[in-house]
Each structure stands twice: as C-alpha cells, then as structure tokens.
Amino acid sequence: MRILETDDYGSMSRKAAWIIFSQVTLKPDSVLGLATGSSPIGTYEELVRLFSSGDLDFSKVKTVNLDEYKGLGPEDPQSYRYFMNYNLFSKININQDSINIPRGEDPDASRECLRYDRVIESLGGIDLQLLGIGRNGHIGFNEPGDSFPKSTHCTALTESTIEANKRFFERVQDVPRFAYTMGIGSIMGAKSIVMVASGKAKADIVKKAFAGPITPMVPASVLQLHPCFTLVGDKEALSQL
C-alpha cells in the first residue's frame, strides 16, 4: 500500500488525476473503473483540464462505473449516470459506446448484475480503478457485512449511507434504498487502484480501513491486500493514520 499525503482537496485531486493521466498516456486503450461522490469531482475537473489543453486523449479509453441507484434511469439528475455525464463524459472525447454503468432502470436485479459482470469480463478486467470511501468504509456500494461480495450485486443501503447521501436529494425519503454495485472481487481484480479521501469526516474511517484489521465490516480494509493500491489523501483525512 502506498500513501500519498497532500495539503488539501485541490492537490489531492491533481495528484489522483495525474496517476490516471500516466495510465492513459502509457496505455491509451485503458479500462478505467470510475467512482462517484464528492471526493472524485476535483479529479475529474483536472482530467477535463488536461484534455482541454490537448494533453490527454480519451478516444480509446473504456470505462466501467462502480455503481448505480436501483430505480434511477440515466435522465434522473440524481443518478450516477447523470453525475458522470455532467462531471466528466460530456466534457471529454470519450466514445459513448465505451461507457458502462449499471442500468439502474432495470428492475430485474439478477439480470442486470449478471449483465454487468459480463461487461467487465468482456473488457478483460479493469486497468485502474478510482475509489472514494464511504463513512462506514464502503467502496462502491459494498456495505459492511459478513463477507466480501465477489461479483456485481444488488445491495440494501445502510442507514449511515442513506444519511450521508441524502445531501444530494431534496428529502431523505427520496434516497433510493437499493443499488447495484460492482463486487469486491471485481474491484480487487483491477491491476491498480487509487483511492481519494479528503476532509476530517473521513479521518476515522481511513484509520480503521488502513491501520486496522482486514474485515468485511470495514469493506475498504480489503484494499490492504491489493498489490498496487495507492491512497491519495489530504492532511485532514490522513490525520489519524
């Protein structure tokens, strides 16, 4: 595990983007695993900047997103598909056919989860996976539990996650209770993984995940076992490590 400490959110975001920049420069047809949440927004801004200055080309890149709320279609402003279009895809030269996100609008969970695993498989796995961390240690929407789920599954969001994510919705009742998420097996199968963590609110869980025991009760702790995992965190997020 490599830990890169930065002064603040801005420098964290640039550093994470530069790692992705190196990946795509060295392998223009990279498969990037992408994440949502507030943590990677700055990373996407820096990637857009690198693209706009002509230094980064996404024309051969393929992407697989971690997760999507069950019941939300791509046109829903709260969907992760919408988030990704708004923050990244609409601002770079990625081919629309190269974008993959679980189809939240498919009510048939087993069909959609199987389809998504086949997508990941058909791409030959993930070259670089970008992650944030939930306040309870979730990655993607792999919530704390008794085991590390291997493949894409439909998960019931915990109260802590609903509480944390309600800021994006008008009312807490509007937060979907279920989501489709890539499994821990697919995440751990990525050739390299970069996590961004920022702010005091993440300090406690960052400590539990990376200085504590490996346990499915803290899903991110499994990343300690990955051969090429980099945590890019600002001073506040790393303050308890």
Q: Is 67 in the site for ligand GLP (CB under 6 A)?
A: yes
Q: What is the DSSP letter of 158?
A: P
Q: Is 165 in the site for ligand GLP (CB under 6 A)?
A: yes
- Cβ contact 207:241 at 8 Å: yes
Residue 233: CB minimum distance to ligand GLP, A = 12
Task: Map residue 34 onto helix, strand or coil.
Answer: strand
Nearer to ligand GLP, 102 or 189 (CB): 102
The stretch among 29-37, 115-123, 214-222, 226-234 that binds ligand GLP (CB under 6 A) is: 29-37
DSSP H or E stretch at residue 63? strand 62-65
| Catalytic status, residue 67 | yes
Position 11, amino acid: S
The one catalytic residue in 143, 153, 165, 234 is 143
Q: Is 236 in the site for ligand GLP (CB under 6 A)?
A: no
Find the binder of ligand GLP among 35, 187, 188, 203 (CB under 6 A): 35
Q: Is 210 in the site for ligand GLP (CB under 6 A)?
A: no
Find the binder of ligand GLP among 6, 13, 23, 36 (CB under 6 A): 36
The one catalytic residue in 138, 142, 234, 236 is 138
The one catalytic residue in 65, 87, 100, 136 is 136
d(CA 111, CA 89): 26
d(CA 99, CA 175): 24
Residue 10: CB minimum distance to ligand GLP, A = 15
| Catalytic status, residue 163 | no
Which one, of 43, 40, 90, 48, lies nearest residue 66 by Cα? 40
DSSP H or E stretch at residue 128? strand 128-131
| Catalytic status, residue 136 | yes
Residue 133: CB minimum distance to ligand GLP, A = 6
Residue 26: CB minimum distance to ligand GLP, A = 26
Which one, of 87, 32, 93, lies nearest residue 58 by Cα? 93
Find the binder of ligand GLP among 102, 140, 183, 233 (CB under 6 A): 140
DSSP 179-238: EEE--HHHHHTSSEEEEEE-SGGGHHHHHHHHHS--BTTBGGGGGGG-TTEEEEEETTTT
- Can you read off the two tokens belonging to residue 19? 């790692």
| Catalytic status, residue 112 | no
The stretch among 4-12, 88-96, 130-138, 182-190 that binds ligand GLP (CB under 6 A) is: 130-138
Active site residues: 67, 136, 138, 143
Binding site for ligand GLP (CB under 6 A): 35-39, 66-67, 132-134, 140-141, 161, 165
